[in-house]
Amino acid sequence: MTDTWLVTGGAGFIGRVVVEQLLAWTEGPQVVVLDAMTYAAHPVALRAVGESYAGLPESSRLTIVEGDVADGVLVSKLMARVRPRVVLNLAAETHVDRSLSNNAPFVRTNVEGTEMLVRASVDCRVERFVQVSTDEVYGDRVGRRAARETDGVEPTNPYAATKACGDALVQAAVRSSGLDAVITRGCNTYGPGQFPEKLLPLAALRWGADQPMWVYGDGLQERVWLHVDDHAAGILAAARVGTEGAVYHFSGGRPRTNQATLESWRRALGLGGRPDDYLRRVADRPGHDRRYALGDQETRRQLGWAPRRSWRSGLRATAKWLASNPQFWASSLEQHGVSAFFAAQYGEPPVVAS
């Protein structure tokens, strides 16, 4: 029987790298991507990944299906047809600020979508289900130790709440339907191809247009950063050798303040100036978590996983990629109401026409 892996959200930022790493395995599986191709997806880049492998036509290892993970009929039909052995669920709405202004798409994709996928996976006797989640489900860690793999969830924003719900549905299916699933939770991820609504690519976009980057509140909120290649490698390690029902954490090191992160990023981009000139303080995000921190000791021990990229080399490689792909998101920024969202959020679009 063919070994097929279904990757939902495979045209997204982390999903695309997961697909690339799967295709890089020699004798690796057939990969089927299901992706709704919403604003943060990049189908052209995903097709290029498929085409770059061994000079084979895309169809030989990678099949791309456009569709909504919350469409139960579509998901059941697709699963019955392709019979995946493994399902990796990376389909998600992820931007906290968007969830604060309209959480409906988050509930649909992150909660209903997960439920549809879980049900179809039980019906199709999938051997391994991986739910890709986030450190945000643990809520604010200020004044507290880093979250451990066995800790309970305490989400504080609508996005994190939908991810925690999705995770709970997966955990319930492990207990009550015999689904062999694992859950992965990573910290803030960065790297090539990230949509410029997140901190680092948005700053690069702003600075590239000679605009200051917006900093929420005092800029002293802390996040841990992980390169996307390391995050994807962790997800695949959990898929291959994780223990049924377990939660795995992928942390990138120590928490850094947003202000310090932006200063390092500015240097990696080879740009100078004083923070007062290239940063602009704006109103804080409602309910903004001051600190995220993940402990990943158990994960490292059990999966043999560790991040390979240092912060400095990861930032430099990302800056290099941006310099060679300046137009990567150009058409998307004009579509899907993205500019309108920025204008409503910050009072101006990301790039102000001069």
| Residues near ligand TYD, by CB under 6 A | 96, 136, 188, 198-199, 202, 214-216, 221, 223, 258
Cβ atoms of 212 and 219 closer than 8 Å: no
Distance CA 184, CA 198 (A): 21
Clarify whether 284 is annotated catalytic.
no
Q: Which residue, 96 or 183, has its beta carbon nearer to ligand TYD?
A: 96
Clarify whether 135 is annotated catalytic.
yes
Cβ atoms of 35 and 16 closer than 8 Å: no
Clarify whether 292 is annotated catalytic.
no
* Cβ-based neighbour number of residue 311 at 10 Å: 20
CB 226, min distance to ligand TYD, A: 12
In the beta sheet, which residues pair with residue 6?
32, 87
Catalytic residue chosen out of the listed positions 68, 136, 167, 296: 136
Q: Which residue, 151 or 216, has its beta carbon nearer to ligand TYD?
A: 216
Residue with tokens 């019955």: 80
- Alpha-carbon radius of gyration of the chain: 20
CB 137, min distance to ligand TYD, A: 11
Burial category of 55 from C-beta neighbours within 10 Å (exposed 0-12, middle 13-18, buried 19 and up): exposed
SS3 state at 68:
coil
Catalytic residue chosen out of the listed positions 39, 53, 159, 292: 159
Strands (E), the chain: 4-8, 30-35, 62-66, 86-89, 128-134, 181-186, 188-190, 213-216, 222-223, 225-227, 247-250, 256-257, 279-282
Cβ atoms of 313 and 262 closer than 8 Å: no
Q: Which residue, 95 or 108, has its beta carbon nearer to ligand TYD?
A: 95
CB 153, min distance to ligand TYD, A: 15
Catalytic residue chosen out of the listed positions 20, 93, 135, 140: 135
CB 280, min distance to ligand TYD, A: 10
Q: Which residue, 30 or 162, has its beta carbon nearer to ligand TYD?
A: 162
Q: Which residue, 119 or 163, has its beta carbon nearer to ligand TYD?
A: 163
Q: Which residue, 35 or 289, has its beta carbon nearer to ligand TYD?
A: 289
CB 162, min distance to ligand TYD, A: 13
Nearest 5°: phi and psi at 145? -70, 165
CB 65, min distance to ligand TYD, A: 28
Distance CA 201, CA 181 (A): 32
Cα 232–chain centre separation = 9
Q: Which residues are catalytic?
A: 135-136, 159
